[in-house]
Amino acid sequence: MTKLKLGPLPDDKPVKVTLELPAPLHRDLIEYGRLLADAGNPPIEPARLIVPMLERFIATDRGFAKAKRQASSAKPRKDSESALRN
């Protein structure tokens, strides 16, 4: 079986999103959905792949994680502000 970066999709209620995709990207999503589907099951619709792919991309983006940590450490926490006032 092909090892794909995206694992099994949770059985969640789909959210409707409207966007335009370039034709080659849409074809690749169709193929990815075909490869990701279990044998004997229909391919996974491209729209169901977009959110998990974006989540995976963000989760594995080291630059984003570092910037996010730096931004959160630069912001004072509300709990800390309350303690300082008292």
pLDDT of amino acid 77:
60
Q: Is the full-model pTM beyond 0.85?
A: no
Tokens of 18: 């409207």
* Three-state secondary structure readout of 30-48: HHHHHHHCCCCCCCCCHHH
The Cβ of residue 30 has, within 10 Å, a number of other Cβ atoms equal to 15
- Residue ranges of the domains in the chain? 23-34+41-71
pLDDT of amino acid 3:
74
Instruction: Tell me how far apart the alpha carbons of residues 35 and 31 are, in angstroms, rounded to a whole number.
Output: 6
Q: Over its length of 86 residues, how does the chain's per-residue pLDDT go in tens digits?
A: 567 777 777 777 766 768 899 999 999 999 999 999 988 889 999 988 998 999 999 999 888 888 888 888 887 666 555 555 55
